[in-house]
Amino acid sequence: MGCAPSIHVSQSGVIYCRDSDESNSPHQTTTISQGAATLHGLFVKSDAADSIPAVLAYQSRQPPPCSGPRRREPRAPRCCGIEAETQTSSTSLKQASATEVQIGPMRLTQDPVQVLLIFAKEDNQSDGFWWACDRAGYRCNIARTPESALECFLDKHQEIIVIDHRNSRYFDAEDICRSIRATKPSEHTVILAVVPRTSADQEETSVLPLLNAGFDRRFTENSSITACYNELIQIEHGEVRSQFKLRACNAVFTALEHCQEAIEITSEDHVIQYVNPAFEQMMGYNKGELIGKELTELPKSDKNRADLTDTINACIKKGKEWQGVYYARRKSGDSIQQHVKITPVIGQGGKIRHFVSLKRLRSTNENNKQLCKSHRDENYSGDNSQSESHSFKCKNRRKDSTDVKSISSQSSDVFSLMAAPSLQNRRYSSMARIHSMTIEAPITKVINIINAAQENSPITVAEALDRVLEILRTTELYSPQLGAKDEDPHTSDLVGGLMTDGLRRLSGNEYVFSKNMNLSHSHLSVPNTVSDVPPCIAQLLDNEESWDFNIFELEAVTNKRPLVYLGFKVFGRFGVPEFLNCSEATLRAWLQLMEANYHSSNAYHNSTHAADVLHATAFFLGKERVKGSLDHLDEVAALIAATIHDVDHPGRTNSFLCNAGSELAVLYNDTAVLESHHTALAFQLTAKDSKCNIFKNIDRNHYRTLRQAIIDMVLATEMTKHFEHVNKFVNSINKPMTSEETSSHSEGTDCECTANMKNFPDNQTLIKRMMIKCADVANPCRPLELCIEWAGRISEEYFAQTDEEKRQGLPVVMPVFDRNTCSIPKSQISFIDYFITDMFDAWDAFAHLPVLMQHLANNYKHWKMLDELKCKSLRLPSENNN
């Protein structure tokens, strides 16, 4: 060493040293001597201990021996001479990195863990934890006295503290733990006690004294670096991660405390656990009078309907949100009218663990008088809310000059809990409610108009309107009302069979379909590349971009394997392999896997139907307005969704499966049973084998977005929400687009509505849903011969279901589909009238599909003609003979 080390003594008496030429000698040894004591790297106990640094942090140390017995050799660290600054070895600096942690909707970034070792002397155990920290990438400090330990902790706020509890000769470990626990920052710190080994003949000691002293864990003496490392890693991924999430909850409680809406949180048993200041102000109670009490213990207003409480409980106990108008009684005895929203919070085990209530004063003269009176009482009683009361009075005088935009913007703040500052103290503007809502359908406008009308209505009228709102909010507004059509059994049966989930369960009847996982196919080879397609198939596929493409010819020439060949061609045309970064071999294997899991024994729901839906989807994606509204990811998602949308379909409807008590119906709670199964199975099969996993090379964010889009589209093919999807599309896409087109034509400019569509992801979602729905039931819009073939196939599948329902004694969900009596033309007419016409009118208005609409008109005439001639088959008898 060319230069002598420099010595620094801090005001607290801590001695630091540093080699003056340390930048040139990365492995020099620093030694501090005092009397008989010599410090090598860490420290030793001596009579001159007060002269030895109490807190040390290191930049580099010689690594421990890789194998063989450990020897107590002098270490060669560099003593870090920077007070109140933690430094780690260069190795750990490379390893240490921030970690992303998700808690609910919050995304947090956790810094590298900091560890404080409190050991009075250097030994193998302290070395073990040091090197474990180095390996884990933790920042580590070492303290040897209680005072320096506390000082270091208050400066650094380490997440993990390790205290030597093996020998009380140097310090009392439990006293150190208590002194640290007495500080506020220790609330989220994990403290570990290192205890001596016990011999085999000694009884295991209790951990209770350690827990009572404030320790969280006990570590039996073990100087193995791996043992220390494992312990620290477990603490990081367990207690430290949990404490980090709890610490983040302080932000949520800060939002709650400053929120202007009254918030109340109760347990599943309706015991009050939390109320915010706004709630205290509204109800006149303080926290101490409420927390821990059951809601039933609080006085109730006699102005509510007798059955309202039962209605609310029945709703929220099912996990559904309830909102409406409720009368509450303040501490003073006055009744006030509130807008209340109660949301169940699902916790561990999928059970309801809490109820969160948001309460807002309704704007009535009576409420305003009581609120003013409460403010006057608070002022006269010398309460500290004088400034708030004055603010209230000022705002109340200016209530007619409300800034609607500011109210609506503030109402969308943290967790939707923030509202305009004066919402509790003055009239809640109906215009603010309208601005803060997303208007998707006419029903939303109706609710807003009723809300506005309520504000100045007599109490009897307001209560009647409350009942109207309750009905509007809880009734399925998009459910069909047949009207004059309900006399048509074909329409009634189609609605019953396609738009319900059965729910008429007969005990003892179970239907479990067998999955044909290994379908046998002919020896026809599958293409390795597009150029490997057999000529006869390639010639057919040359016309695949045409709407009149004959899928049944492809079915025949491929021996009922059209999905692989058409999928290979379509996916290549849309650049799917490039987007997914997967090879053609992987794509081919995936298409084979999906097609193998369609049931070729089904008359209708087989791989030919999947190929037909894929073809229709690709055709729609080629239309200019559709293409201009969607991104490449949307196109890829749509093509994949079309491919998998009916995989492993059993050839039976959801109603049948629910009535039969099938395993799938039980698994998916009688809700979108088949659609949920199609998506779940497709992703399971894809992930199971790397050779077939087309998603394996895309990054996680793209995969999650793509997966969500695929799931959403497949679920949209479920018919129970058919009218909801169509009406949302009409109100959110068709009507605004018509308005923009009219405006743009009057101004002589081109319509920019298509270009703007990409700026609204919700609209893109509606377009994708509508697209796959139309592709799924496009049979009536195909050329007549194709339309007739599809009609025969779906009828045969429904006939087979009716036959099986009768055999098993199950409810017959579509009685008209009896093969001996059914009129296929009537069923097609009903299907077109009730499901197809309006949907394709809306889709045509957006995508411009004149060819499809012409086919639909021609096919409808065909079925009408057969029906008028009392013909129940697909064609006239003379045509059948030909």
Give me 499's structure tokens.
């738009």
Q: What is the DSSP letter of 441?
A: S
CA 811 – CA 486 distance, rounded (Å): 20
In 574-605, alpha helices (H):
576-580, 584-596
Q: Would you say 732 and 440 are in contact if contact means Cβ atoms under 8 Å apart?
A: yes
Q: Would you say 522 and 559 are in contact if contact means Cβ atoms under 8 Å apart?
A: yes
Give me 639's structure tokens.
């093509």
Q: What is the DSSP letter of 804?
A: H
Give me 571's structure tokens.
């996916």
In 173-295, alpha helices (H):
173-181, 208-213, 225-235, 241-258, 277-283, 287-290
- The active-site residue, picked from 375, 490, 599, 605, is 605
Q: Would you say 866 and 876 are in contact if contact means Cβ atoms under 8 Å apart?
A: yes
Q: Determine how β-strand 99-103 pairs with β-strand 106-110.
A: antiparallel
**CA nearest neighbour of 578 among 711, 697, 701:** 697
Q: Would you say 57 and 141 are in contact if contact means Cβ atoms under 8 Å apart?
A: yes
List, in order, residues 6 or more apart from 677 with CB less than 8 Å away.
Answer: 648, 664, 667, 668
Give me 851's structure tokens.
């060819």
Angle between helix axes 489-498 and 824-831 (nearest 10 degrees) is: 60
List, in order, residues 6 or more apart from 160 with CB less than 8 Å away.
Answer: 113, 114, 115, 116, 138, 189, 190, 191, 192, 232, 235, 236, 240
How far, rounded to the nearest angstrom, does the alpha carbon of residue 210 sit from its chain's CA centroid? 41
Q: Which helix (H) or strand (E) holds 635?
A: helix 632-644
List, in order, residues 6 or more apart from 858 with CB less than 8 Å away.
Answer: 784
Q: Which helix (H) or strand (E) holds 262?
A: strand 262-267
By three-state DSSP, how is residue 142 classified? strand
Provide Rg for the chain, Cα atoms.
36
CA 454 – CA 339 distance, rounded (Å): 12
Give me 64's structure tokens.
């421990």
DSSP letter for each residue of 484-506: GGGG-HHHHHHHHHHSS------
List, in order, residues 6 or more apart from 181 with CB less than 8 Å away.
Answer: 191, 214
Q: Would you say 714 and 645 are in contact if contact means Cβ atoms under 8 Å apart?
A: yes
Q: CA end-to-end span of the chain, whole Å?
A: 108
Distances from the Cα of 163 to the Cαs of 123, 156, 185, 232, in angstroms?
A: 13, 16, 17, 13
By three-state DSSP, how is residue 570 classified? helix
CA 91 – CA 85 distance, rounded (Å): 18
CA 300 – CA 327 distance, rounded (Å): 8
Per 3-state DSSP, the chain is made up of helix, strand and coil in percentages (nearest 5) of 50, 10, 35
605 belongs to the catalytic site: yes
Handedness of CA 371, 299, 264, 454 (dihedral sign): negative
Give me 692's structure tokens.
């077939």
**CA nearest neighbour of 404 among 359, 377, 437:** 437
DSSP letter for each residue of 395-410: HHHTGGG--HHHHHHH
| Residue type present at position 301 | S
Burial of 774 (0-12, 13-18, 19+ CB in 10 A): buried
Q: Which residues are catalytic?
A: 605
